[in-house]
């Protein structure tokens, strides 16, 4: 099917209104000094998404540089272990095989091309684990743009290899020491830089969050994940999946996978949040299941906050999910009942990671492993999930395999005592 940007209007949440609202979430909550830049971005992106030459340039790099379309792989051994009574067949959308090892490159390249189109000559980005920093530094090397990446000093300490990668790619990594010196502080610092240097600089935000139009830009750039999956599944099975599931940090790979299916009533949509030490412990990163409405990083959405509206630090062994908010479209879809929301603890994710690696020879990122760990719960309908799946063996599951896990081998060693699922030993 032809990729169109507006063929998914089914619920009022499929697209934001002209002010960037997805239901009661989204919008623009930014300092006055940033409003001209945001308005410029709204207009420039509005034109770019309808410009065939711009889209063709993205398509060209997606194919020749990123390696798209990424494969859709049926994990049969893994499905035997996972599907339980449903007998579901499980298809992995292999974003781990995209250049730099995760879906983040899709957004980084698109926004770097947008930077050029805006006539700007400098890129900034924030990064937590370093994955978005590496993707942006990569796109900037390709397009010959100077790149500054803001990264919490704590994260720089924890993610040495990615810092070295960014340096090798020619990016400057600026340590952020304010607050807790982690991702949310890096976003604040990047926004400060943007305000100061808005004439020359585009801020390449790394997930489907932040002020309008970022949630829309990032979704549009990531939705080829779901568009490709739908086409690939149609080729091999002649139909759409019954369930599509992805892990959620800020929400870019999830909305990228799910956007195509929002308007398809036969496709159930699910996400897996990071439950860290467990939802009941308060030490988690589950902004939908454990958060409340509030304003974070320029938009209204669900977030972790205390009674005074102060941000509560997120906790997850997975650096890419360790964020106290979630993108507004996913918040709206969840609130509207279109999205089933599951979670997995650090230990459950590690067990899923070990299982997938041993059964399929594919090492998933710890982030991705949360979606894998949550899948049996969704199929079994436990922990408040709807369940009710048919068990005639004709259930097709599409799982967004957001990235590769080489970066997480040290974390894996830390959880040495966690066994893989029984059947994989
Ligand atoms: C960054 C990252 C995520 C989480 O970010 P989203 O914006 O929620 O997709 C998930 N998986 C991998 C592999 C990542 O690098």
Q: In this predicted model, what pLDDT tens digit does every residue of 168-198 receive, in sequence order?
A: 999 999 999 998 888 999 999 999 999 999 9
Paired with 176 in beta bridges are 152
- Ligand 1 centroid, distance to 367 Cα (angstroms): 6
- Ligand 1 centroid, distance to 32 Cα (angstroms): 30
Q: Are strands 292-296 and 299-303 parallel, antiparallel or unpaired?
A: antiparallel
Give per-residue pLDDT as tens, 95-152. Answer: 999 999 999 999 999 999 999 999 999 999 999 989 999 999 999 999 999 999 999 9
The Cα 23–Cα 16 span in angstroms is: 8
Ligand 1 pocket test target in 252, 253, 256 with most atoms within 8 Å of CB: 253
| Exposed / middle / buried, residue 36 (Cβ in 10 Å: 0-12, 13-18, 19+) | exposed
Reported as half-sphere exposure (CB side, CA atoms, 13 A), residue 397 has a value of 31
Ligand 1 nearest atom to the CA of residue 128, by list position:
1
> Would you tell me the crossing angle of helices 328-335 and 214-222 to the nearest 10 degrees?
80
Q: What is the pLDDT of residue 7?
A: 37
Give per-residue pLDDT as tens, 302-328. Answer: 999 999 999 999 999 998 999 999 999
Ligand 1 nearest atom to the CA of residue 132, by list position:
1
Decide if 250 contacts 207 (C-beta within 8 A).
yes
Is the pTM for the entire model greater than 0.75? Answer: yes
Give per-residue pLDDT as tens, 388-401. Answer: 999 887 999 999 99
Q: What is the pLDDT of residue 425?
A: 55
Q: Is the CB of 373 under 6 A from ligand 1?
A: no
CB contact set of 392 (below 8 Å; sequence gap of 6+): 87
Give per-residue pLDDT as tens, 236-285. Answer: 999 999 999 999 999 999 999 999 999 999 999 999 999 999 999 999 99
Among 260, 237, 228, 251, residue whose Cα is nearest residue 397 = 237
Q: What is the pLDDT of residue 1?
A: 36
Ligand 1 nearest atom to the CA of residue 222, by list position:
9
Q: Is the CB of 248 under 6 A from ligand 1?
A: yes
The Cα 203–Cα 196 span in angstroms is: 12
Q: Are strands 292-296 and 396-401 parallel, antiparallel or unpaired?
A: unpaired
Ligand 1 nearest atom to the CA of residue 249, by list position:
8
Give per-residue pLDDT as tens, 56-109. Answer: 999 999 999 999 999 999 999 999 989 988 999 999 999 999 999 999 999 999
Nearest CA to ligand 1 atom 3: 320
Nearest CA to ligand 1 atom 7: 252
- Ligand 1 centroid, distance to 402 Cα (angstroms): 6
- What percent of the chain shows pLDDT beyond 70? 96
Ligand 1 pocket test target in 247, 272, 344, 353 with most atoms within 8 Å of CB: 247
Q: Is the CB of 365 under 6 A from ligand 1?
A: yes
Among 150, 145, 254, residue whose Cα is nearest residue 200 = 145
Q: Is the CB of 250 under 6 A from ligand 1?
A: yes
Enumerate the active-site residues.
104, 126, 402
Ligand 1 nearest atom to the CA of residue 248, by list position:
8
The Cα 3–Cα 227 span in angstroms is: 7
Nearest CA to ligand 1 atom 10: 367
Whether 347 shows a pLDDT value over 90: the answer reads: yes
Q: What is the pLDDT of residue 393?
A: 78
């Amino acid at each position: 099917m032809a990729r169109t940007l507006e063929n998914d209007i089914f619920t009022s949440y499929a697209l934001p209104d002209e002010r960037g609202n997805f239901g009661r979430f989204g919008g623009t909550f930014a300092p006055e000094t940033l409003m001209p830049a945001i308005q410029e971005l709204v207009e420039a992106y509005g034109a770019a998404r309808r410009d065939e030459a711009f889209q063709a340039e993205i398509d060209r790099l997606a194919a020749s540089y990123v390696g798209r379309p990424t494969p859709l792989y049926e994990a049969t051994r893994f499905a035997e272990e996972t599907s339980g009574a449903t007998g579901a067949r499980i298809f992995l959308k292999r974003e781990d095989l995209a250049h730099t090892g995760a879906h983040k490159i899709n957004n980084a390249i698109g926004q770097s091309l947008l930077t050029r189109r805006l006539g700007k000559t400098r890129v900034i980005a924030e990064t937590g684990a370093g994955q978005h920093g590496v993707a942006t530094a990569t796109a900037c090397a390709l397009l010959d743009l100077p790149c500054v990446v803001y990264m919490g000093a704590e994260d720089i300490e924890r993610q040495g290899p990615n810092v070295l990668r960014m340096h090798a790619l020619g990016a400057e990594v600026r340590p952020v020491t304010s607050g807790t010196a982690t991702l949310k502080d890096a976003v604040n610092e990047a926004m400060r830089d943007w305000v100061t240097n808005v004439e020359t600089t585009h801020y390449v935000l790394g997930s489907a969050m932040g002020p309008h139009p970022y949630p829309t830009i990032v979704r549009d750039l990531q939705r080829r994940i779901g568009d490709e999956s739908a086409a690939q599944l149609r080729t091999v099975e002649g139909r759409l999946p019954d369930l599509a599931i992805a892990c959620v940090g800020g929400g870019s790979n999830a909305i990228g996978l799910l956007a195509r299916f929002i308007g398809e009533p036969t496709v159930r949509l699910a996400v897996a949040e990071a439950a860290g030490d467990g939802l009941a412990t308060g030490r988690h990163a589950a902004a939908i299941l454990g958060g409340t409405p509030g304003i974070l990083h320029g938009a209204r959405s669900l977030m972790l906050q205390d009674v005074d509206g102060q941000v509560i630090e997120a906790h997850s062994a997975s650096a890419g999910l360790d964020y106290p908010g979630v993108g507004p479209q996913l918040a709206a879809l969840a609130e509207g009942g279109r999205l089933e929301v599951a979670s997995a603890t650090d230990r459950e994710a590690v067990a899923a990671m070990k299982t997938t690696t041993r059964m399929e020879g594919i090492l998933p990122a710890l982030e991705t492993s949360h979606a894998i760990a949550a899948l049996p719960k969704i199929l079994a309908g436990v922990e408040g999930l709807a369940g009710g799946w048919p068990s005639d063996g004709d259930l097709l599951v599409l799982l967004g395999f957001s990235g590769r896990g080489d970066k997480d081998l040290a974390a894996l060693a830390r959880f040495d005592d966690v066994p893989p699922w029984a059947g994989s030993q």
